[in-house]
Structure 1
Amino acid sequence: MGATEADDRHVSEEIGFDDQLLVGGALGGVLAGVLMGLLMHYRMGIMEVVGGLYSVESVTAGWIFHLVHAVLFGVFFAIGLQWRPFAKYDFGPLAIALLGLAWGVALWMVAAGVIMPLWLDAMALPAPDLPNWATKSGTGHLVYGATLGVVVAIADRL
């Protein structure tokens, strides 16, 4: 992210974003999603709950929807790094990795802690109390954010 937009060969003129960073966000999202998903599946036993968000309570659907979320949140992270208020900073690899960790915490507090319980309740499914800041979920989101941040930091330096 150190080069200006005009100097950066990775910035797509069509979309105005660094396409390499977006790919890094997507790939980081997949890898981070798999690692977090393994925790959700084997340590927490809640993968079918993710499918339940879309009225398909199965482990397979949970994995599919979880990975879709992971990729989308990974791409949103990469876009966020390029958002005008942040784009002016030359984030190094450590800063990007730490921002990924912070992104994981934000997702845990907002998406898992507030939106998911509200969504489950709206679907008339068993929902945890608000806010749902369970430690295991927080650990999973830290793994997600840290992994995403490292992959995006690597993509930024290629």
Structure 2
Amino acid sequence: MSTTTETSYSTGVANGNWKAGVLGGIVGSVVMGALVLAMNTATLAVAIPSMYTLAPPASPGLGLVVHISHGAVLGVAFAGLAGVLDAESLGQRLGLGLGWGVVTWVGLAALLMPVWLDAVGSPANPPLPNFAIPSLLWHVVYGLVLGGVYAALEDAV
């Protein structure tokens, strides 16, 4: 006869709501995508889809699909960060969203995207680094919408 003993350990890390993160990321990237289309269509129509060799030719629709997919994945990461940081109030979540928008702008748009586009031979390859102010605006809006939607839906989904 054998016995087993299970021991569980608490890490002390709160979990974020990944579903609210996905939904917040989708809504945030749709709002951001609308701004990009209004301000610089080529970014959404050529640069973003060409990361996956889906352009040229220009395709705002494909660019939007890719962009929304990125937004959803980054929303899950945001949810994890919100859980780890125990961001519970609307203000904390909006502040975290704003910071998340800046971090994604620096890390992904300004540094990673130019390298990636160069690697795939995109005709829309920006300089490295690409600290474009309109892109900062777009990413901050994404983060704020993500934080707000996350706060609104965290307990509902």
TM-score range, shorter chain: 0.7 to 0.9
Q: Indicate the residue corresponding to 2:20 in structure 1.
A: 24
Identity %, equivalent residues: 33
Following the alignment from structure 2 to structure 1, what is the Cα–Cα distance between the partners of residues 147 and 66?
21
Structure 1 pair 78/43, CA: closer, same or farther in 2 (3 Å)? same
Q: Indicate the residue corresponding to 2:72 in structure 1.
A: 71
TM-score by length of 1: 0.81
Q: Indicate the residue corresponding to 2:52 in structure 1.
A: 54
SS in 2 for 1:28: helix
RMSD: 1.8
Offset of residue 90 of structure 1: 5.5
Correspondence list, 1:110-129, <5 A: 110-126=107-123, 127-129=125-127
Following the alignment from structure 1 to structure 2, what is the Cα–Cα distance between the partners of residues 25 and 137?
22
Return the letter of the residue paired with 1:98.
G
Show structure 2 runs of 5+ residues with no match: 1-9
Q: Indicate the residue corresponding to 2:103 in structure 1.
A: 106
- 1:37-94 CA deviation, whole Å, 9 max, x = no partner? 01111211121211110001122210110000010001110012223xx2xx453221
Q: Indicate the residue corresponding to 1:43 in structure 2.
A: 39
Show structure 1 runs of 5+ residues with no match: 1-5, 7-15
Aligned residues: 138
Question: Are the equivalent residues in 1 in contact too, given 2:87–2:93 (CA < 8 A)?
Answer: no
- Report which of the two structures shows the higher radius of gyration computed on alpha carbons: 2
Following the alignment from structure 2 to structure 1, what is the Cα–Cα distance between the partners of residues 83 and 27?
21
